[in-house]
Each structure stands twice: as C-alpha cells, then as structure tokens.
Amino acid sequence: MKPNSRRVFLRNTSISSLVLLANPLKSCSSKIENKIVSETYKPLILSTWAHGIPANDKAWDVLSKTDNILDAVEQGVRVTESDPDNLSVGLQGLPDRDGIVTLDASIMIGDGSCGSVSFVRQIKHPISLARQVMEKTPHVMLSGEGARLFAIAQGFPLEEEKLSPKAEKAYREWLVQSAYKPIINIENHDTIGMIGIGKDGKLAGACTTSGLAYKMHGRVGDSPIIGAGLYVDDEVGAATATGLGESVIRICGSFLVVELMRQGRSPQEACEEAVRRLTVKNASQIADMQVGFLAINKEGEFGAYAVHPGFNFAMHHSEAKVLKDAKSKFSDNG
Ligand code: ASP
C-alpha cells in the first residue's frame, strides 16, 4: 500500500509539536540518591500516533472533570472512531478484501476487568460496545454477529454498511491488483491504543481499530485480544500495541510488557525487550513489518519502542501535550 497523504502529514508533523499547557501543575520526577532517573507524571495519558493528540485532549478533559480514567480512555478513543478522515479506526476505515469494514476493540482497567469485541460490523463506537461487554455480561469477548446482536440489544444504532469516500477510493485502487499481502509495514497501520493513569493511581486502557487493510474476511488482530493489544494492571502498569497484530499475538505483547515491568524493568526497558522478543519470533517477516509498544508504570513513568523508525505517540500530562517519536530497534537504513 502506498503511503497516503495523511501518513506523509504524520511524518512531517512528527518533529514533535510541543504545546505547553497553561496553569501547569507540578510534575514529579522520581529521585534516587538525588539522581533523576526518569520523568514521571500523574495523571498521564499516552496514545499511539498523531491521531492521539485530539483523542488525548478529550481524555484529559474528561479526566479533569471526573477523575475517572476509564471514562477518559473510552471517550478519548471515541474521538478517533468518529474521525471521518481516519482510514484505520472506525467505520470509515479501510475494508477487508471483500469490501466489508469489520472492527476490533478492547478496554481494560487495573483491577482486571476487561471487555472486547472483534469482527464487528455497523457499530460506530466498538470501544463503548467493548465496555458494555465488560460491564453488562459475564464474558470478556463477543465477536461477529453475536457482538452486533448484543449491540442492538443494548440500544446501539446500526450504521449503514457503506464505505467512506476515502476508503471506497482506496479499495477500488487496491482491487485493480487485489494483491493479498497481509503485511503491515511502517506506512500502513494506525490503531489507536490509549493508556492512562489518574492522580489516584488507577490505570485504564482502550484500543480500537479497523485492523489490517484488505485482510481476509474474519481476520482478527491483536487489538481486541486482552494481553496482546492491551493489558492493564494497577499493581504494575499498562501497555498497548500497534502494528502487525499477528506478531503481537505471538508474544502476548502487552501482557509481556506489563510482566517485564512487574519483574522490575522500566516501561522503556520493557517495551525494548518485547520488541526484541518479537523480532526473534517473527524473524522472516521483520524487514517489512512494524510494531510499536507504549507503556506506563504505576509511578507514572512511560516508555515507547518500535521495530522500525516512524512510530510516534501523543503524550498529555499536566505540564504539556507533545507528539514524540519513539526509538526503534532498527534504524532508517535497516
Ligand atoms: N494492530 C492492528 C491489527 O493487527 C493493526 C494496526 O495497528 O493498525 O489489526
């Protein structure tokens, strides 16, 4: 898939736009023997990609008014799900190879409560449906037609199954070759994964996507799989992933990042070790695939790391909101 103009825009804007916030509260830096070891912030919201900036704005607003980190992450990623220009999240995203948009989403809080939906059609806000699964059923995941029927029962409106103008154009172009290459490289993936910590230390995360463009009908990625695309534990921290879902599922990526933090790694070290393991387990594909991880620990320290350059993330805390480039295992020239 060719780089689209939005991604070119993302790359151009990834020279970190820093916006200092008015009336900043003091952030705390953790100190050990008078040595500053890391930046820590509470509250803190992190999201994958530049579309995380408006999503974080909404999450921050909700968090400021309610102190509810679960509401904040849900409302935050709903902004991305509603963005008519977004080709990788929500019903305006790129379809599968049969021309049908199917969505995956998950939500989790630090006490272990979680919910997800996968392979769901016609629902504008799958993240809110995932929350309903968490709160209104004894289950963790509903899929496909069952998820859609549950949505109807919960009063969610069904949207018309019609590709957005941008998705329709891109799909028609793809149909010319119809090349089935289920690969996510550094140009064509953009799930929003958002993780956050409130000032009370409670953590939550939300992850939502239209998944891999032109995937097989029925394909489900990492985003709705608890422990793959998202994992949250108030005892330790939270992590989320973006990129080639199959490779993330193979290493239980977000769970791995949280478990590495539990064993004493910093969020940055944990993301780096997860990428290292992922590159070993997916060695034959590694040149043409991308994955990025984001993590927060319960102190409010953060980390981010990707397989290749190009992954950026939006960070919002009491002093600033900023788009940052993540470091990566491989450099630009491989
Ligand atoms: N992780 C998503 C998936 O594999 C894709 C993405 O990050 O855009 O479905």
Q: How far apart are the first and last CA of the chain?
A: 20
**Residue 330 lies inside a defined structural domain of this protein:** no
Whether residue 105 is contained in a domain is answered as yes
How many CB atoms sit inside 10 A of residue 249's CB? 17
**Sign of the CA dihedral with 108 first, then 76, 260, and 308 last:** positive
Residue 300 lies in a domain: yes
Query: Can you point out the beta strands (E) in 33-144?
Result: 35-40, 44-48, 103-109, 114-120, 141-143
**Could you tell me how many helices (H) and strands (E) the chain has, helices first?**
9, 16
Q: Quick check: CB of 86 below 6 Å from ligand 1?
A: no
Can you name the residues that pair with 197 across neighbouring β-strands? 44, 203
Q: Specify if 325 maps to a domain.
A: no
- Predicted structure pTM score: 0.90
pLDDT per position as a tens digit, 193-231: 999 999 999 999 999 999 999 999 999 999 999 999 999
**pLDDT above 80: residue 73:** yes
Instruction: For ligand 1, say whether the CB of 243 is within 6 Å of any of its atoms.
Output: yes
Query: 90 is in which domain, residue-wise?
Result: 44-317
pLDDT for 35 equals 44
Paired sense of beta strands 192-197 and 302-306, if any: unpaired
Cα 66 to averaged position of ligand 1 atoms, centre (Å): 30
Q: How confident is the model at residue 39 (pLDDT cuts 50, 70, 90)?
A: confident
* Cβ burial, residue 22 (10 Å; 0-12/13-18/19+): exposed
Establish if 194 belongs to a structural domain: yes
Closest of 205, 167, 197 to residue 83, by C-alpha:
167
Q: What is the pLDDT of residue 30?
A: 44
Pocket test for ligand 1, best of 191, 194, 226, 313 (most atoms within 8 A of CB): 191
Task: Tell whether the model's pLDDT for residue 36 goes beyond 80.
Answer: no
pLDDT in the model for residue 260? 98
Cα angle 193, 198, 202 (rounded to 5 degrees) comes to 85
The mean per-residue pLDDT over the stretch 73-100 comes to 96
DSSP annotation of 289 reads -
Which pLDDT belongs to residue 19?
A: 54
Q: Ligand 1: does its nearest atom lie under 6 Å from the Cβ of 245? A: yes
Query: Which ligand 1 atom sits nearest the alpha carbon of residue 223?
Result: 1
**What is the C-alpha to C-alpha distance for residues 295 and 313, in angstroms, rounded to an integer?**
11
Rounded to a whole number of angstroms, the CA Rg of the chain reads 18
CATH code of 188's domain: 3.60.20.30
Taking CA atoms only, the protein residue closest to ligand 1 atom 9 is 211
Among 88, 101, 189, residue to substitute to test ligand 1 (most atoms within 8 Å of Cβ): 189
Model confidence over 106-118: pLDDT tens digits?
999 999 999 999 9
Q: What average pLDDT does range 1-23 have in this prediction?
A: 37
Average pLDDT over residues 189-194: 88
- Dihedrals phi, psi of 100, to nearest 5 degrees: -115, 130
Spatial distance between the Cα atoms of 146 and 322, rounded to a whole number of angstroms: 39
User: Ligand 1 centre and the CA of 211: distance in Å?
Assistant: 5
In a domain, 250, yes or no: yes
Per-residue pLDDT for 20 more than 60?
Answer: no
Instruction: Indicate if ligand 1 lies below 6 Å from the C-beta of 189.
Output: yes
Residue 291 CA to ligand 1 center (angstroms) comes to 9
Q: Are 291 and 244 in contact (CB under 8 A)?
A: yes
Q: Is the pLDDT of residue 13 over 70?
A: no
Average pLDDT over the chain reads 88
**Res. 249 pLDDT band, cuts 50 70 90:** very high
Determine the pLDDT at residue 32: 41
The residue from 48, 102, 191, 242 that is catalytic is 191
pLDDT at residue 206, rounded to an integer: 99
Number of Cβ within a 10 Å radius of residue 166: 17
| Residue owning the nearest CA to atom 4 of ligand 1 | 245
For 281-296, what is the mean pLDDT?
A: 92
pLDDT at 228: 98
In this prediction, residues 245-263 reach a mean pLDDT of: 97
Answer whether residue 32 is part of any domain: no
Is 21's pLDDT higher than 80? no
- 208 given a catalytic annotation: no
Using the mean position of ligand 1's atoms as its centre, give its distance from the Cα of residue 212 in Å: 6
Query: Bridge partners of 32?
Result: 35
pLDDT class of 82 with cuts at 50, 70, 90: very high
Please name the helix (run of DSSP H) or strand (run of DSSP E) that holds residue 306, with its range, or none: strand 302-306
Q: Which atom of ligand 1 is nearest to the CA of 190?
A: 8
Distance 219 CA to ligand 1 centre (A): 11
Domain total for the chain? Answer: 1
Looking from the CA of residue 188, the nearest atom of ligand 1 is 8
Has residue 191 been placed in a domain?
Answer: yes
pLDDT grade, residue 331 (50/70/90)? confident
118 Cβ contact partners less than 8 Å away, ≥ 6 residues apart? 104, 141, 142, 143, 144, 147, 220, 224, 225
The separation between CA 152 and the C-alpha centre of its own chain, rounded to angstroms, equals 26
* pLDDT of amino acid 318: 95
